[in-house]
Amino acid sequence: MPQEAHVYSYSAVLMGSPILLKLFQHNEHLAHQVFRLIKHYENLLTVNRSPSEVMNINHAAGLHPVVVNPAVYQLIKCAKSASLLPNSVFNLAIGPLVKCWKIGFQGSSVPPADEISTRLALTSPHQVILDDEQHSVFITQAGMELDLGAIAKGYIADRVRDFLHSQQVFQGLINLGGNVQTLGGASQMRGTPWSVGLKKPFAGPDDLIGVIEVEGKSVVTSGTYERWFEFAGKRYHHILDPRTGYPLDNELHSVTIVSEDSVDGDIWTTLIYGMGVEQGCACLANKPGIEAIFVTKDRRVVLSSQQLFTFTLQDSSYQLAPQGS
């Protein structure tokens, strides 16, 4: 593409995911600073190894509050609010279930039903107590664990955007393992959007259903095809239903959210995935800053609205369906 001529790409593997940074200047130092920033937040937020601020909170479950860095505190507060929305399937305290399914990690298997129900009892977001003055987080019951996997990448993508802005960089793209945040457009000429692929579920890594075009917006997808395993002919994916303890199961393969901030996209993909097409569209009808692209198991692509992006269908085995059909 001609507009790509002056784009410089930098890549790394962080947070267990491929990271891609695109800039309009050859600046390895800046790219290095961006990757260092991502690593910094990963070290605060990870629940896959100690130490991290979130691991410190988890280790103190049932024992005492833990004072955390203000950014971590705000993120946990935001994750708790999302978890307490009416009928929310987002749950920041889903950790014990994520750990027992191990989806995306070695040794994933279907846990025994009694283990799932034991762990379900350890996932109430109400038992995550926040203290705004102290910036402390207290998980009241031993065995409970926070998991910020559904929100951390979005949050970090926004911090990268803010950092680039602080360095007077107003055009670029950061892709954190599928969480994309764009700055400006894709060319030094005005009005050239970035193209973000809408992935075809359970197909090759480069197989797309279509292309989403945005400028200065975030594009985040949660999909059943991202991390999964198969057992006895059934697929089990990594987004768990906090009401049942099993992977969420409805008509959807993926939800993509286009929004200003990637942290919103990261939260809303999970919330909207839990709602399904009809309820999801109804919910977003009065949220102009959050737009969804649903991919259904019966190969429909449904757009909740289309003010923030354009979408071009490329795979003719999919049908662009009107909202609510």
**Contacting residues toward ligand AMP, per CB under 6 A:** 89-91, 94, 98, 147, 149-150, 222, 238-240, 242, 266, 269-270
Listed in order, strand segments (DSSP E) in the chain are 8-14, 17-23, 66-67, 128-131, 136-139, 172-176, 179-183, 194-199, 208-214, 218-223, 228-231, 234-237, 252-259, 290-296, 300-303, 310-313, 319-321
Footprint of Mg ion on 204-223 (CB under 5 A):
none
66 vs 146 by CB, closer to Mg ion:
146
Q: Which is nearer to ligand AMP, 31 or 98 (CB)?
A: 98
Regarding beta strands 319-321 and 300-303, do their DSSP bridges make them parallel or antiparallel, or are they unpaired?
Answer: parallel
Nearer to Mg ion, 143 or 177 (CB): 177
Residues 251 and 295: their CA atoms lie apart, in Å, by 9
- Pick what 264 binds: Mg ion, ligand AMP, none; C-beta below 5 to 8 Å, kind-dependent: none
- Which does residue 90 touch among ligand AMP, Mg ion, none (CB within 5 to 8 A, set by kind)? ligand AMP
Using the minimum distance from each CB to ligand AMP, give the nearer residue, 89 or 295: 89
Phi, psi of 33 (to 5 degrees): -65, -40
* Distance of closest approach, residue 177 Cβ to ligand AMP, in angstroms: 8
Instruction: Write the interaction track for Mg ion spanning residues 265-284; mark x where CB under 5 A is met and - where it is not.
Output: -x--x---------------
CB of 90 to ligand AMP, least distance (A): 5
Site string for Mg ion, 232-271 (x = CB under 5 A): ----------------------------------x--x--
C-beta of 98: minimal distance to ligand AMP in Å?
Answer: 5
Bridge-partner residues for 311, per DSSP?
212
Residue with tokens 């395993």: 229
Q: Which is nearer to ligand AMP, 90 or 236 (CB)?
A: 90
Cβ 6 to Mg ion shortest distance, Å = 32
Angle at Cα 132 formed by Cα 130 and Cα 137, nearest 5°?
30
With contact defined as beta carbons under 8 Å apart, do 268 and 290 qualify? yes
CA angle 168, 169, 173 (to 5 degrees): 160
Of 226 and 278, nearer to Mg ion (C-beta) is 226
Is residue 150 part of the contact set for Mg ion (CB under 5 A)?
A: yes
**H-type alpha helices, 46-112:** 53-59, 70-84, 95-101
Nearest by Cα to 291 from 325, 324, 263, 255: 255
Residue 80, binding choice from Mg ion, ligand AMP, none, Cβ under 5 to 8 Å by partner class: none
Q: Which residue is nearest to ligand AMP (CB)?
A: 149
Q: At what angle do helices 152-166 and 262-284 cross, to 10 degrees?
A: 120
Q: Which residues bind Mg ion (CB under 5 A)?
A: 150, 266, 269
